Amino acid sequence: MSLPLRFRQLHDHSRAEPTVSWELRRDRLQRLRHLLIRHKHDIATAISQDFGNRSQHETQFLEVFTSLQAIDHALAHGHIWMQPQSRPTSIWYKPARNILLPQPLGVVGIITPWNYPLLLTIGPLSCVLAAGNLAMVKLSEHTPTFGTLFDQLIRQSFSDDEIAIVNGDSSGDRSGDSGGNVALAQEFCALPFDHLVFTGSTAVGREVMRVASTNLTPVTLELGGKSPAIIGPSADFRHAVTRIISGKLLNAGQTCIAPDYVLLPKGREKAFIDCARDVVARFYPSLNDERLATDDYTSIVNQRHYERLAALCSDAQQHGAVLTPLSRRAPHASTRLLPPLAVTQAPADARIMQEEIFGPLLPLVTYEKIGDAIATVNAGPRPLALYVFDNDSRIIDRVLQQTVSGGVTINDTLLHIAQEDLPFGGVGASGIGAYHGEEGFRRFSHMKPVFRQSRINAMRLFSPPYGKAFALLMKLLIR
Cβ–Cβ contacts within 10 Å for residue 5, how many? 8
Residue 47 C-beta-side C-alpha neighbours within 13 Å: 27
222 is catalytic: yes
Q: Is the peptide bond before 347 cis (omega within 30 degrees of 0)?
A: no
Nearest Cα to Cα of residue 195 among 412, 440, 2, 430 = 440
* Beta strand segments in 39-178, E: 85-87, 97-104, 107-111, 134-139, 163-167
Mean pLDDT by 10 residues, the chain (479 residues): 94 95 98 98 97 94 97 98 96 94 98 96 98 97 96 97 83 40 88 97 94 97 96 98 98 97 97 98 94 91 96 97 96 95 97 97 98 97 97 98 98 97 96 96 97 91 89 90
* 228-420: CATH topology: Aldehyde Dehydrogenase; Chain A, domain 2 (3.40.309)
> Which runs of consecutive H residues, i.e. helices, occur in 219-289?
237-249, 269-283
All residues at 6 or more sequence positions from 260 whose CB lies less than 8 Å from its CB, including other chains:
225, 226, 227, 228, 356, 357, 363, 383
Neighbours of 333 (CB within 10 A): 12
Give the span between the Cα atoms of 417 and 434, in whole angstroms. 11
Buried (b) or exposed (e) across 252-286, using 16+ Cβ within 10 A? bbbbbbbbbbbbbbeebbeebbebbbebbeeebeb
pTM of the model: 0.94
Q: What's the pLDDT at 460?
A: 85
Q: Single out the residue of 199, 213, 192 nearest to residue 14, CA to CA.
A: 192
The three state secondary structure string of 149-206 is HHHHHHHHHCCCCCEEEEECCCCCCCCCCCCCCHHHHHHHHCCCCCEEEEECCHHHHH
Rounded to a whole number, what is the distance in angstroms from the first to the last CA of the chain? 64
Q: Tell me the domain boundaries of the chain.
A: 3-223+427-451, 228-420
H helix intervals, 357-453: 370-379, 393-402, 437-443
Is-contact 385 408, C-beta < 8 A?
Answer: yes
Rounded Cα distance between 365 and 322, Å, is 12
CATH code for residues 3-223+427-451: 3.40.605.10
Q: Which of 385, 376, 404, 381 is nearest to 263 (CA)?
A: 376
Structure confidence at residue 291 (pLDDT)? 86
Q: What does the pLDDT read at residue 181?
A: 63
- Whole-number Å distance between alpha carbons of 257 and 59: 16
* Active-site residue identified among 63, 141, 222, 439: 222
The predicted structure's pLDDT at residue 22 = 98
The amino acid occupying position 437 is: G
